[in-house]
Amino acid sequence: MFITFEGIDSSGKSTQVEKLSDALTKLGKKVLALREPGGTTVAEAIRTILLDKKNLIHYEDELLLFTSARANLVSNVIIPELKIGTVVICDRFADSSIAYQSFGRGIKREVVELINNFVTQNLKPDLTFVVDISVDTMIERTKIAKKIHDRMEENKIDFYAKVRNGYNVLSKEEPNRVKIIDGTKSIEQIHETIIKFVQQKLN
Ligand code: ADP
Ligand code: TYD
């Protein structure tokens, strides 16, 4: 089973990935939690390039870098692990490129879809949770965490509003796969909602 988490920055994805991973491990499942971009030596190196503020990266190269990292992770880790029955949980996946590079940056959706399908070898998640928060909540949370902004986080408010809308569109197009979860609820409440959906799929 392949489960992905999506949402704008600081929506609470990695918190929920960890909780779901622990819960499924306790149920006796073999679980592998990953993050994008990352998860392999090559993809982590690409992540460093992508998030470094010193780097001048345009929309086209940004898309190709994110998707190169994805190609490396899919072929080296995700597909082999799914083949041996591991539950793979990924913090971001192909939908991030649709939301950020297409809805956010304005790259034609068909271009992003074509590249995504190529690098994922047409692999689709069984379930995708979009942890949904407003842009105001995102700004609040990054202030509280006193987070140092990376290159992606230098984007303007309206960019994040477009990304959030992109996720909403995706959930309307594929309601069986893409579930919007209210990210302003407590960490426990969100986890309960998520585990219910996962258990439905596992049964
Ligand atoms: P992401 O992986 O989406 O960037 P994180 O899981 O790192 O998000 O969470 C971002 C920040 O928000 C952290 O400081 C985390 O403790 C906090 N946080 C996570 N979930 C919630 C929640 N449901 N309510 C309030 N704060 C949260
Ligand atoms: P990360 O620190 O993982 O973000 P978050 O705190 O939201 O989990 O940084 C990843 C950044 O890269 C984030 O701003 C989203 C962006 N991104 C894309 O723009 N396209 C993509 O395909 C992926 C995977 C991420």
**Residue whose token pair is 């939908």:** 95
Question: How many domains does one find in the chain?
Answer: 1
Q: Whose alpha carbon is nearest atom 1 of ligand 2?
A: 9
User: What is the domain range of residue 197?
Assistant: 2-202
CB 4 within 8 A of CB 93: yes
Choose between 144 and 44: higher pLDDT.
Answer: 44
Residue 100 has what DSSP assignment?
Answer: I
3-class SS of residue 38: coil
Phi first, then psi, for residue 119 (nearest 5°) are -75, -25
Tens digits of per-residue pLDDT, 56-83?
999 999 999 999 999 999 999 999 999 9
Q: Is the pTM of this model over 0.85?
A: yes
Residue with CA at minimum distance from ligand 2 atom 19: 100
Say how many Å lie between the CA of residue 186 and the centre of ligand 1: 10
Query: Using CA atoms, how far apart are residues 116 and 122, in angstroms rounded to an integer?
Result: 8
pLDDT at 145: 80
Q: Which CATH number covers residue 27?
A: 3.40.50.300
